[in-house]
Amino acid sequence: QVQLQQSGAELVKPGSSVKISCKASGYTFTSYDMHWIKQQPGNGLEWIGWIYPGNGNTKYNQKFNGKATLTADKSSSTAYMQLSSLTSEDSAVYFCARSPPLNYYSGYYFDYWGQGVMVTVSS
């Protein structure tokens, strides 16, 4: 069965960086886009961007340009997101989520999600 296993919670200092992981299993990692989503209480959900592990292509929400960097390791079926220059505004739960192959009728959507990683930025 499809599983997306994310790394554990992070407590990090302002100005630092953090790299969180999302290990995929139960499907062909290189054939599906992997998306990243931010969730903050009161701020709802924000789409950060996606990566296609098959060739490393990425697309970012302009809002997260310079903040998030998406990578993928085909050998370990693991996607990564690095967040840099962290501030309190980056404290949130971050999810990875798989999207099925794109078609005109459905557009992009996420059929499987990781369990989420809570990132807390605090001195």
Q: Applying CB under 8 A, which residues contact other proteins?
A: 35, 44-47, 59, 61-63, 95, 99, 104-111, 113-116
**C-beta closer to other proteins: residue 35 or 67:** 35
Beta-sheet pairing, 44-52 with 92-99: unpaired
CA 26/CA 113 separation, integer angstroms: 13
Q: Are 108 and 122 in contact (CB under 8 A)?
A: no
**C-beta closer to other proteins: residue 8 or 107:** 107
Q: Are 87 and 78 in contact (CB under 8 A)?
A: no
Nearest distance from C-beta of residue 81 to other proteins, angstroms: 16
Nearest distance from C-beta of residue 101 to other proteins, angstroms: 12
Nearest distance from C-beta of residue 118 to other proteins, angstroms: 10
**C-beta closer to other proteins: residue 8 or 123:** 8
Nearest distance from C-beta of residue 99 to other proteins, angstroms: 8
Q: 3-state SS string over 75-92?
A: HHCEEEEEECCCCHHHCE
Q: Are 122 and 11 in contact (CB under 8 A)?
A: yes
**C-beta closer to other proteins: residue 74 or 102:** 102
